[in-house]
């Protein structure tokens, strides 16, 4: 049994809790900062509040690209450690870090050249285009640090260091919290100051994460010179990219759907877009525990799959499904009661508040089912079958969400768009349950 394969024995629930709580805290703090930052920008001007609502889905899209590489890191590394291939795991870590630099070199110039195209695709009104450009031109400069944060966090979780990840991200949020009002208000940078604060914080935490990876993965050998040939490095890169590419595609589809939704909502006016932007931030806080659980699932299922403990892997997935149902019920009730009060923290505009409150009455009814989709995707990514996750996402957003948007939006206006999102989550979760059940039963047969 590998000393690094910490999730192949003991209580499954305890392992998930030990991984999920720090991850949930990390996600909650990051999203809380985004929410606080939104409040800062709302106080700066109404224009910056609307502009950040257009910027937010684009930033999430690129974060999901980075998260795809984080998923690949967890999948490849956890299976190596579960199979007791320690040296392979160490060389995979080096390939991951070097690959993050190469990917950022490719994406950075393309993103800069495409800002105007992105603005057109997201239907950014002319009056907000300058603010849109100001935010993203700075945000894109820090994309390398976004990659390192996602990949490094996954590596540390697989090596059983979730508390270190949480500690690093807490410091990152505090740096953000201090810098953001200074740059937004004191230096009068507005929306550009918000972007710059995030870049500085992620730069500092990337350095810290790299140091912690050295300690966690290379403590026994004391050297990073594991990859001894270009051929071996290329082999690891192929293995990583075979997971990362479909994972990135799957992750990117979600934000693209949000961009599409914002494009449709823009037809109904600025208040609808601003209300959606507020509700989306509250929503992200509400489902943070589900994101944390899905991130925690990959190391546990991946290590058990690598060690051929299939029954334990299947039981892990079933536990995660149960937790999704419980949390979904709790948060639906909570947002029905407090959704309007939470929205008041962001805006006092009655029209904006009505949109946000309506969204928070409709969408939470599907959060439990959205959680099941997250767990199923994490499950297939962890065992090296990311194309299944991609197909699930395509069905959810391409086959269900977009047609439902056109159908329900035509007859019910913007509330119909919210119902389209809800129904696509519920229907896709049925497919997820069937596919995961079929997979694990075939492994156990």
> How much is the pLDDT for 220?
59
Kindly report, residue by residue over 152-188, the tens digit of the pLDDT. 998 998 888 888 988 998 898 889 889 999 999 999 9
**Distance from C-alpha of 366 to C-alpha of 358, rounded to nearest angstrom:** 14
Task: Give the pLDDT band (50/70/90) at residue 385.
Answer: confident
The mean predicted confidence, pLDDT, of the chain is 86
What is the four-CA torsion angle of 353, 356, 360, 361, rounded to 10 degrees? 60
Query: How many CA atoms lie less than 13 Å away from 276 in the CB half-sphere?
Result: 29
Q: Picking from 248-252, 339-343, 391-395, 431-435, which range would have the lowest pLDDT averaged per residue?
A: 248-252
| 86/272: higher pLDDT | 272
**Distance from C-alpha of 414 to C-alpha of 428, rounded to nearest angstrom:** 22
Token pair of 265, please?
């909502």
What is the span of the domain harbouring residue 199? 12-444
* Residue pair 298/151 in contact by the 8 Å Cβ criterion: no
In a domain, 204, yes or no: yes
**Distance from C-alpha of 237 to C-alpha of 259, rounded to nearest angstrom:** 31
In a domain, 159, yes or no: yes
**Distance from C-alpha of 39 to C-alpha of 36, rounded to nearest angstrom:** 5
> How much is the pLDDT for 221?
55
Enumerate the H helices of 287-362 as residue ranges: 288-306, 310-343, 350-362
Domain total in the chain = 1
In a domain, 4, yes or no: no
By percentage, how much of the chain surpasses pLDDT 90?
34
In a domain, 165, yes or no: yes
Task: Give the pLDDT band (50/70/90) at residue 1.
Answer: very low
* For range 252-263, the mean pLDDT: 77
In a domain, 317, yes or no: yes
In a domain, 3, yes or no: no
In a domain, 1, yes or no: no
In a domain, 63, yes or no: yes
Task: Give the pLDDT band (50/70/90) at residue 384.
Answer: confident
């Amino acid at each position: 049994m590998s000393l690094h394969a910490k999730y192949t024995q003991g209580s499954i629930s305890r392992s998930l809790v030990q991984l999920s709580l720090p991850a949930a805290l990390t996600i909650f703090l990051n999203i809380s900062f985004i929410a606080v930052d939104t409040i800062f920008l709302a106080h700066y001007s109404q224009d910056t509040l609307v502009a950040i609502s257009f910027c937010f889905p684009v930033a999430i899209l690129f974060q999901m690209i980075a998260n795809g590489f984080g998923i690949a890191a967890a999948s490849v590394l956890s299976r190596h450690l579960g199979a007791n291939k320690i040296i392979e795991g160490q060389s995979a870590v080096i390939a991951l870090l070097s690959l993050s630099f190469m990917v950022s070199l490719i994406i950075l110039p393309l993103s800069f050249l495409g800002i105007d195209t992105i603005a057109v695709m997201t239907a950014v009104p002319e009056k907000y285009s300058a603010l849109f450009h100001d935010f993203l031109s700075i945000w894109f400069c820090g994309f390398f640090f976004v990659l390192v944060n996602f990949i490094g966090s996954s590596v540390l979780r697989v090596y059983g260091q979730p508390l270190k990840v949480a500690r690093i991200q807490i410091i990152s949020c505090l740096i953000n919290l201090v810098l953001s009002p200074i740059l937004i208000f004191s230096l009068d940078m507005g929306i550009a100051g918000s972007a710059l604060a995030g870049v500085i914080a992620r730069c500092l935490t990337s350095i810290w994460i790299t140091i912690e990876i050295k300690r966690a993965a290379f403590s026994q050998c004391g050297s990073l010179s594991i990859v001894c040939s270009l051929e071996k490095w290329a082999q690891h890169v192929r293995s990583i990219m075979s997971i990362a590419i479909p994972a990135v595609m799957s992750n990117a589809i979600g934000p693209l759907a949000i961009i599409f939704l914002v494009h449709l909502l823009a037809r109904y006016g600025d208040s609808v877009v601003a209300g959606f932007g507020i509700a989306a931030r509250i929503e992200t806080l509400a489902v943070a525990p589900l994101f944390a659980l899905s991130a925690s699932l990959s190391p546990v299922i991946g290590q058990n799959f690598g060690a051929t403990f299939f029954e334990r892997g299947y039981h892990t997935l079933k536990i995660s499904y149960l937790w999704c149902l419980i949390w979904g019920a709790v948060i639906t009730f909570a947002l029905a009661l407090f959704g309007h009060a939470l929205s008041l923290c962001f805006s006092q505009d009655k029209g904006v508040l009505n949109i946000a409150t309506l969204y928070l009455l409709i969408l939470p009814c599907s959060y439990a089912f959205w959680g099941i989709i997250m767990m199923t995707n994490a499950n297939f990514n962890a065992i090296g079958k990311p194309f299944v996750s991609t197909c699930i996402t395509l069905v959810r957003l391409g086959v269900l969400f977009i047609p439902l948007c056109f159908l329900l939006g035509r007859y019910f206006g913007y509330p119909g768009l919210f119902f389209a999102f809800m129904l696509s989550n519920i229907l896709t979760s049925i497919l997820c349950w069937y596919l995961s059940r079929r997979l694990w039963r075939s492994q156990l047969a």
